[in-house]
Every structure is written in structure tokens, then in C-alpha cells.
């Protein structure tokens, strides 16, 4: 497995469990792989670099200018992302576009929250990531109505003082079953501010 393929796979996996958490509509896997906002990748804007490009399609001067300013490495990454996008099934591309639509409809505060969780996860160590993944799996196993209620609770808990939040979280059987260290990791992931270091480094 090449380094690029490995990175793409890890990014898709990260997007998948963010979607499983269902706190909010999920990030698209393609977007995370790009390391930018959600949504399908833009087609490379040049005649010969994308053989399947529709002839006569209008190209904005701004896109062409940005393309010309890129390094060969950046252009190569965009070509590769676009190639992978084209290899996805129509069904998978449709799901990603729908997630992108839902993402764009979110208030900015909620989008920022999800972006922050993604960055916090990247900073976490293997053990803390394992706690978060198990939590996602648990959320994903819930019936839809319970998932909706759970994400509403999580959003409400953000505004509580720490002691009240802890009291509320202990009403959840899954949380009560965690060790102290696991609870620390989960609280950090769900409620930490950007740049706040993991509790156990």
C-alpha cells in the first residue's frame, strides 16, 4: 500500500466514524481526504489533465489562475483526488453530495464544532482514539430516534458547568461503564476547545 493510498483510507475511516457519531450531519469522506471542507472534489481545470472533461464546459478565470499558481505536487494531488472520486460508484457519489448539501445547511457554529472534533481526534493518542471509536460504534447501534435524542443531549451538555455535565452524563449506562481514564478521553473529545490537549499524553 502506498503512502497516498494509506492516507486516503485513514481519511475515509475518520469520516465514516464521524458520520456514525451522528451528532450532526456527517462530513464526507472525499472532503476529509482532501483536508478541506466537505463535498466532492473540483475537476482539475485544464485541457489535457482530465481526459473525461466535457468539452466546451465554461472555466472561470479564477480557477484557471489558481491552477496555474499551484506547484506540480499540488496539481498531482488534485488529479489523484479527482481520479478517486470518478472511481466511486454513482450511489456513493450521490450520498456524498447529499451529505455535502446537509453540511452546507448547518449553522456555522455546528460546522465549526464538527471541524474541531476532527482536529481533536487527530491529536489524540491510540488509546483515546479507541475510546472515541467505541463510542461511535455504540451511537451507530442505536435506533434512529435514540440517536437523535442522544445528539440533542450532547449539544445541550456543552453549555452546562462541568459538574452538572458530569452528573448528566452519568445517567447514560454506556458512560457509567467506562473507566475514569476512558471518561476523561470521551469528555475531552466531546467538549474540549480547539487546542486543548488530550488529558492523557
Same structural domain for residues 160 and 132?
yes
Q: What is the mean pLDDT of the chain?
A: 74
What is the predicted pLDDT for the residue at 16? Answer: 43
- Mean pLDDT in residue range 178-187: 92
* The model's pTM: 0.59
Residues 81 and 165 in one domain: no
Lowest pLDDT segment from 40-49, 128-137, 157-166, 177-186: 40-49
Determine the Cα–Cα distance for residues 84 and 86; give it in Å rounded to an integer.
Answer: 5
Please state the length of the chain.
201
| Packing angle, helices 144-157 and 180-191, rounded to 10 | 80
% of the chain residues with pLDDT over 70:
70
95 and 129 in a single domain? The answer is no
Q: Is residue 133 part of a domain?
A: yes
In a domain, 178, yes or no: yes
CA 7, 192, 106 angle in degrees (round to 5)? 70
pLDDT tens track for 7-28: 444 444 444 444 444 444 333 3
Is residue 99 in some structural domain?
Answer: yes
Q: How far is CA 37 from CA 3, 29, 107, 188, in A?
A: 22, 10, 14, 23
* Segments forming the whole domain that contains residue 198: 124-201
How many other CB atoms sit within 10 Å of the CB of residue 11?
19
Structural domain contains residue 91:
yes
How far apart, in whole angstroms, are the C-alpha atoms of residue 90 and residue 77?
A: 22
Tell me: do 149 and 185 sit in the same domain. Answer: yes
Any idea which of 21-35, 54-68, 148-162 has the lowest mean pLDDT? 21-35
pLDDT score for 8 = 42
Q: Are residues 11 and 39 in the same domain?
A: yes
pLDDT of residue 111 exceeding 90, the answer is: no
CA distance 158 to 110: 12
Q: How many structural domains are present in the chain?
A: 2
Q: Is 179 left (phi over 0), alpha (psi -120 to 50) or beta?
A: beta
Amino acid at each position: 500500500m502506498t503512502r497516498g493510498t494509506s492516507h486516503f483510507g485513514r481519511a475515509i475511516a475518520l469520516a465514516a466514524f464521524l458520520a456514525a457519531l451522528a451528532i450532526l450531519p456527517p462530513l464526507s469522506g472525499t472532503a476529509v481526504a482532501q483536508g478541506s471542507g466537505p463535498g466532492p472534489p473540483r475537476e482539475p481545470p485544464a485541457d489535457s489533465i482530465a481526459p473525461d472533461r466535457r468539452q466546451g464546459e465554461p472555466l472561470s478565470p479564477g480557477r484557471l489562475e489558481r491552477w496555474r499558481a499551484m506547484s506540480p505536487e499540488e496539481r498531482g494531488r488534485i488529479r489523484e483526488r479527482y481520479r478517486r472520486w470518478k472511481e466511486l460508484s454513482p450511489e456513493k457519489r450521490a450520498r456524498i453530495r447529499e451529505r455535502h448539501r446537509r453540511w452546507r445547511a448547518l449553522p456555522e457554529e455546528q460546522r465549526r464544532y464538527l471541524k474541531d472534533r476532527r482536529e481533536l481526534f487527530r491529536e489524540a493518542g491510540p488509546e483515546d482514539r479507541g475510546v472515541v471509536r467505541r463510542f461511535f460504534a455504540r451511537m451507530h447501534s442505536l435506533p434512529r430516534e435514540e440517536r437523535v435524542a442522544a445528539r440533542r443531549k450532547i449539544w445541550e451538555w456543552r453549555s452546562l458547568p462541568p459538574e452538572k455535565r458530569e452528573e448528566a452524563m452519568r445517567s447514560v449506562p454506556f458512560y457509567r461503564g467506562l473507566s475514569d481514564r476512558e471518561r476523561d478521553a470521551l469528555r475531552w473529545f466531546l467538549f474540549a476547545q480547539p487546542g486543548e490537549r488530550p488529558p492523557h499524553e
